[in-house]
Amino acid sequence: MEKVNAYITDAPGGTVKFTQVNIDDEKGNVTLRPILTGICGTDRGMVKGSLSFTYNPEGYDFLVLGHESLCEVIESDSPEFKKGDRVVPLVRRPGDCPNCRIGRPDNCSDGEKHEAGITGLHGFMRERFKDFDFNLVKVDDPDLGDIAVLTEPTKNVVKAFEVFEKVSQRSVYANNISTYEGKKALIIGTGSEAFIYAFMSVDYGFDTYILNRHPIEDNKIEMCREFGIKFIDSSKEPEFPEKFHIDFLIDTSGDPGTIFKYVRKMNYNGIAILFGTNGKAPKTEIDGEDIDYIIERNITLAGSVDAARIHYMRALDYLSKWKRRHGEAMNKIITGYFKPGDIDLFENKPSGEIKSVIRW
């Protein structure tokens, strides 16, 4: 392939540049061009150098950024895809462990998998790239429009709820009419992943709260109202109800002090999904009382990372359903369109951002 413009970083140290790159050892039977690529907390964490688990591909002193994308097929030698098809490429690529060999590299058991734009594999923020058809998921619903770019962040949420369902089976978790009505889910953070977790939580029937340590912008308040989500501003902590027991806690902040503060508000048989990553979060102390609290209530803390092909497919179905139900309001999750070459976007979050995307 000839030179193309791309966003690159040097992992795990950080920085971001928009420059020409030549990646001529790339294989694949489909050539793609991104239509939209999304920016997420992981991209910003990498650019800042705060994600020590990231690394450049072998033989390269840089890594092309980008793992959230909606792409168009521009050339295909595959019987499954034709020119003009809209697709979402998978992020994780399997190693050789038993989980990778059954199509679940998201549960890789030896760390030998790779992730496009994150660990050892070039990502999708470049004008063109090649991939194999077995790494692509087709977007069939034409009504999804631009929000199909949310397939990647949504698939993380679908998988995390699968973890929740497995863990919740160890005791009776639902209420006495077999639903989650009346159960409380608290999501820490108000970024795009937090909102997608909140949409899913409402879909499951939880009484759903999202929290940040400052007020949120009007567009986010409006999004909460549209989807039936309640917002808690933890800087007004006295307003946080005294007897508020969290049945399902989801963290997207990666901040251990905040996580443990709310673990101590969890209910019996509660489940916490740890999802946010921030290697530079401040240290916190936990003591024996914290451990006793977790044990006495059978609380489960479970990490959840990435997802498999099945979760991308289900993510597309959820997005279609939410789009049908909420129409134009769902489109408002994309809060900004940017042009290739914009660097500031990686260093500074635009005000009111839920999801910023680059239109290629």
For residues 72 and 32, what is the distance between their CA atoms, to the nearest angstrom?
A: 6
Q: How is 60-85 classified by DSSP, letter by letter?
A: -S-EE---EEEEEEEEE--TT--TT-
Please report whether residue 76 would count as binding ligand NAP according to CB under 6 A.
Answer: no
CB of 277 to ligand NAP, least distance (A): 4
For residue 89, cis peptide bond before it (omega within 30 degrees of 0) = no
Please report whether residue 305 would count as binding ligand NAP according to CB under 6 A.
Answer: yes
Please report whether residue 189 would count as binding ligand NAP according to CB under 6 A.
Answer: yes
Helix (H) or strand (E) run with residue 322 in it: helix 309-326
Closer CB to ligand NAP, residue 56 or residue 190? 190
Rule CB under 6 A: choose which of 119, 151, 252, 356 binds ligand NAP.
252
Q: How many CA atoms lie within 13 A of 73 on its CB side?
A: 25
What part of residues 10-49 is at the interface with ligand NAP (CB under 6 A)?
40-42, 45
Closer CB to ligand NAP, residue 28 or residue 189? 189
Rule CB under 6 A: choose which of 275, 318, 322, 346 binds ligand NAP.
275
Neighbours of 354 (CB within 10 A): 22
Q: How is 21-38 classified by DSSP, letter by letter?
A: E--TT---SEEEEEEEEE
For residues 218 and 165, what is the distance between their CA atoms, to the nearest angstrom?
A: 33
Q: How many CA atoms lie within 13 A of 108 on its CB side?
A: 16
Please report whether residue 69 would count as binding ligand NAP according to CB under 6 A.
Answer: no
Rule CB under 6 A: choose which of 71, 144, 148, 188 binds ligand NAP.
188
Rule CB under 6 A: choose which of 9, 37, 168, 190 binds ligand NAP.
190
Q: What is the DSSP code (8-state) at residue 56?
A: P
Closer CB to ligand NAP, residue 53 or residue 132? 53
Surface-to-core class of residue 176, CB atoms within 10 Å of its CB (0-12 exposed, 13-18 middle, 19+ buried)? exposed
Rule CB under 6 A: choose which of 277, 320, 335, 356 binds ligand NAP.
277
> Which amino acid does the sequence have at 157?
V
CB of 191 to ligand NAP, least distance (A): 2
Closer CB to ligand NAP, residue 228 or residue 303? 303
Surface-to-core class of residue 341, CB atoms within 10 Å of its CB (0-12 exposed, 13-18 middle, 19+ buried)? exposed
Closer CB to ligand NAP, residue 194 or residue 358? 194
CB of 189 to ligand NAP, least distance (A): 3
Tokens at residue 37, please? Answer: 């690529």
CB of 20 to ligand NAP, least distance (A): 28
Closer CB to ligand NAP, residue 33 or residue 213? 213
Rule CB under 6 A: choose which of 278, 301, 329, 338 binds ligand NAP.
278
Please report whether residue 154 would count as binding ligand NAP according to CB under 6 A.
Answer: no
C-alpha dist (Å) from residue 43 to 7, 98, 125, 188, 288:
11, 29, 11, 19, 36
Q: Which residue is nearest to ligand NAP (CB)?
A: 191
What part of residues 196-215 is at the interface with ligand NAP (CB under 6 A)?
211-213
> What residues make contact with ligand NAP under the rule CB under 6 A?
40-42, 45, 156, 188-194, 211-213, 252-255, 258, 275-278, 304-306
